[in-house]
Structure 1
Amino acid sequence: MATINILTTLDDNYLTQFKVMLLSIKQTNTDDQFDIWLAHHAISESSSKQLVAFVSKLGYQLHMVHVDVDVWSSAPVLKQYPAEMYFRLLCGEYLPKTLTRILYLDPDILVINPIRSLWTLDMKNQMIAAASHNGLTGVSQTINNVRFQNKNKYFNSGVMLMDLNKMREKVKLDDITSAIDRYAKRLILPDQDILNYLYSDHILSIPEEIWNYDTRDNIVHFTKSLGSIDLPWVIENTVILHFCGHPKPWEKRNLNRFAILYKHYEQLLRLNYGEYY
């Protein structure tokens, strides 16, 4: 079977979470081979060597891709949204031209079931496949429609299957920086807002309850499904659990019902790969 290519962008603050995410992939996708691409600006040489060794021990190959952060000097950056979050938007420019498809995953994710059916998804000639988190009432969707003056869904950028050839054709740095200059004061989730403002017409919608399950919204999913999407359903059917927002499952006083599952994978990392924890 063809190798699945995974892209993540992060800084030193998310190295452990990156390892937990990769371990969850290894545990639930035993028949597949993965190439891991990590886009970064300032991960230290020692951390890079440790990551390469850890990923090799999983049986995968890690490609460290250094990105020049200066191109984002005008972009809004907050403590919780570092410059690295923008790297995914121009990934087609710095990834090898031989790569034509890649699956971007945020590091605050667990992969709890096989992911190949997403990797082989028919994208119906769209540039990106992603999910939208609409909540129970859709109020946030309405607000975003007003903000961006369109009727498109608002897509979460934490899980994106990307056609890199189309990304190279359509995604331009000048368009992104112009949008940032124009709407900087309106941007709430900066890179995600830019993604939706510029490219939502080119995104294929995929089911959030399977491919990008916001773990804060379990009651929403349960209610909207009339009780069918419960915890056993998630464990059997959901592929990607996304720990959006705060507090994160590795932080203290976390009441998220899926935090214990995250702690389980964290413990597996500690027990089986302690030298890399």
Structure 2
Amino acid sequence: MNIATALNRKYVNYTIVMLTSLCINNPVHIDAYLLHCELTDKDIDFIEESLKNYDINIIPLKINRQVFSEKVPVNNMWSIETYFRLMLTYLLPDTVNRILYLDVDIIVNKDISELYNMVLNGSALAGAYDRNGYGTTLEQLDSPKQREMFGKLAGSEPFYFNAGVLLYNIDWMKQNNISLNTYVNALNDWNFEMPAFDQDILNYVFFGKVKYIDWEKYNLFTLLAFNDGAKETDAEKASILHFSSSYKPWTTNSIHYEIEDIWWRYAKRSSIYSTIADQYITGMTQDPFLKQYTDYLLTQTETQKKTIDDQNNTISVLKNSLSEQNNVILEQKEVIDQLVKINKKLVIKK
């Protein structure tokens, strides 16, 4: 099984978790091609050592970032590494005729041999509709630029796929002379104004040449699924879970939800769990958002404590008042009893 992913040094540990989940659920020989521009020999050795108990061969493919840095937009959301997949066609050895690209923020939760070995029938690649089926038609696209560019190609049918899980038909791409220049020409068509950068370009270049796979099975966006009411038990049914939002299971200053437990379960089975857990705990203790939230909870607790104390004081006053009223009632009862006795005596004398 040929796998590719792109990473930088900050994502080494999370790449190991992704590959660990892949190996656990797919006990076959795996060649994992790591697209990067900054990993050191020590980083590569660390990844290999962390996965030594599995039948996986780590193959680093170092890319000169200058090839992209002057040609493509980069920001905090989209790193230079996200473009590296565009070079897959001619970076791979001739023996590779297909390869499954996986983002590093993915968990492979089941056997995916059916996906990997699927018949592509002349398609350039196989991928799933973006964002759990949202935003896949021309009308649903977020950006006017996307609607302009894809309006030249698309009708009313869903077409827009997510680039985080893609099965590449390398033979088809070589036969059709797909190269970096193919993508650069597409970038020029867009005037470099792509909201989703490489994903827009892949959808543009391969429009009409995609075999669509079940997103619920092979590319479940976990936060969107959670927002739609899915529980951890529902997400467990997916073969591939994609923690695609900016809120990652391992980040501290973000929203967390129960489906993330699946990611942490695989992290715990990796050889680097203690490192990831320590980093997470350290981050939590230093997180300014957490401090603010803790201060808020303390303030709320003090407010609630004062409210409870006030309520207890009110209850105590009420108890005292009731006790006094009860004493008055008892005294009145005694007077009434005396009057009744006197009245009986008067009746008898008559």
Give the TM bin, normalised by the shorter chain: 0.7 to 0.9
Tell whether the 8 Å contact from 2:232 to 2:259 is kept in structure 1 after alignment: no
Q: Quick one: distance in 2 between partners of 1:34 and 1:233?
A: 28
Correspondences of 1:220-231 after superposition (within 5 Å): 231=232
Match of 2:11 in 1: 14
Tell whether the 8 Å contact from 1:11 to 1:40 is kept in structure 2 after alignment: yes
Tell whether the 8 Å contact from 1:74 to 1:181 is kept in structure 2 after alignment: no
Corresponding residue SS for 1:158: strand
Match of 1:173 in 2: 180
Q: Give the deviation of 1:117 after TM superposition.
A: 0.7
Q: CA, structure 1 residues 168+79, in 2 after alignment: closer, same or farther (shift >3 Å)?
A: farther
Match of 1:259 in 2: 260
Q: CA, structure 1 residues 139+45, in 2 after alignment: closer, same or farther (shift >3 Å)?
A: closer
Instruction: Tell me whether 1:85 sits opposite 2:82 in the alignment.
Output: yes
Instruction: Tell me whether 1:38 sits opposite 2:37 in the alignment.
Output: no
The code of the aligned residue for 1:38 comes to: L
Instruction: Tell me whether 1:210 sits opposite 2:217 in the alignment.
Output: yes
The code of the aligned residue for 2:32 comes to: I
- Segments of 4+ in structure 1 off by > 6 A? 271-275
The code of the aligned residue for 2:212 comes to: S
Correspondences of 1:124-135 after superposition (within 5 Å): 124-133=121-130
Corresponding residue SS for 1:193: helix
**1:119 counterpart (111, 116, 121):** 116
**1:158 counterpart (149, 154, 164):** 164
Instruction: Tell me whether 1:53 sits opposite 2:49 in the alignment.
Output: yes
Tell whether the 8 Å contact from 1:67 to 1:94 is kept in structure 2 after alignment: no
- Structure 2 length as normaliser, TM-score? 0.69
The code of the aligned residue for 1:245 comes to: S
Match of 1:65 in 2: 61
The code of the aligned residue for 1:201 comes to: G
Tell whether the 8 Å contact from 1:55 to 1:61 is kept in structure 2 after alignment: no
Quote the sequence identity (%): 25
Match of 2:235 in 1: 234
Tell whether the 8 Å contact from 1:127 to 1:166 is kept in structure 2 after alignment: yes
**1:191 counterpart (155, 176, 198):** 198
What CA deviation, in whole Å up to 9, does each residue of 1:64-121 have, x standing for no partner? 1112222212111112212111111220111001110111100000011111111111
Q: Quick one: distance in 2 between partners of 1:50 and 1:233?
A: 34
Corresponding residue SS for 1:165: helix
Corresponding residue SS for 2:100: strand
Q: Give the deviation of 1:141 after TM superposition.
A: 4.8
Cα RMSD, aligned residues only: 2.5
Tell whether the 8 Å contact from 1:127 to 1:163 is kept in structure 2 after alignment: yes
What CA deviation, in whole Å up to 9, does each residue of 1:130-152 have, x standing for no partner? 00125576577524362422326
Match of 1:225 in 2: none
Q: Quick one: distance in 2 between partners of 1:52 and 1:181?
A: 39
Q: How many equivalent residue pairs?
A: 265
Q: CA, structure 1 residues 211+90, in 2 after alignment: closer, same or farther (shift >3 Å)?
A: same
Larger Rg: 2
Higher relative contact order (CA 8 A, sep 6+): 1
Q: Quick one: distance in 2 between partners of 1:130 and 1:139?
A: 12
Unaligned segments of structure 1, at least 5 residues: 223-228
Q: Give the deviation of 1:54 after TM superposition.
A: 2.4
- Greater displacement, 72-81 / 155-164: 72-81
Q: CA, structure 1 residues 17+94, in 2 after alignment: closer, same or farther (shift >3 Å)?
A: same
- Structure 1 length as normaliser, TM-score? 0.86
Tell whether the 8 Å contact from 1:134 to 1:141 is kept in structure 2 after alignment: no
